[in-house]
Amino acid sequence: MALWDTIVGGVTDSWLGTAALGVGAVLVAPLVLPVVGAGLRGLTKTVVKGGVLVVDGATAAVATAGESASDLWAEAYAEVHPEVGPAPEREAADLVDAYGQKLRDDGVA
């Protein structure tokens, strides 16, 4: 902080110096902001790509874990109930919309 105060101390002692800094910032901003914005766009794009890769990896991991759990359940069921045979297929729950109306097979209420 002391270094900053030393650098701009002489300029900002009066309102005229402060106004000159403000005018300078307004004049330089159109030149600097597009360059900074382009750099931030690239950085933001890289972060979003990383997020997409993480979500894809997590989706694959969850799908693999679900399949493994389903196989394990079927094997355990077959060992507990050998006379029944393979585990019965479970029916999917009826699909309903936000208002509780049953949906047809094509997804229309």
Judged by DSSP in three states, 64 sits in helix
Q: Identify whether the C-beta of residue 73 lies closer than 8 Å to the C-beta of residue 87.
A: yes
CA atoms of 94 and 52, how far apart (whole Å): 31
- Spell out the domain ranges in the chain: 15-80
CA atoms of 90 and 84, how far apart (whole Å): 15
Q: How many residues does the chain have?
A: 109
Q: Identify whether the C-beta of residue 40 lies closer than 8 Å to the C-beta of residue 32.
A: no
Task: Read off the pLDDT of residues 28-87 as tens digits, 9 standing for 90 and up.
Answer: 888 888 888 888 888 889 999 999 999 999 999 999 999 999 899 888 888 888 776 665
Sign of the dihedral through C-alpha 103, 106, 107, 109? negative
Does the pTM surpass 0.85? The reply is no
Q: What is the pLDDT of residue 56?
A: 92
Token pair 């693999």 is at which residue? 64
Helix-strand-coil split of the chain, %, nearest 5: 65, 0, 30
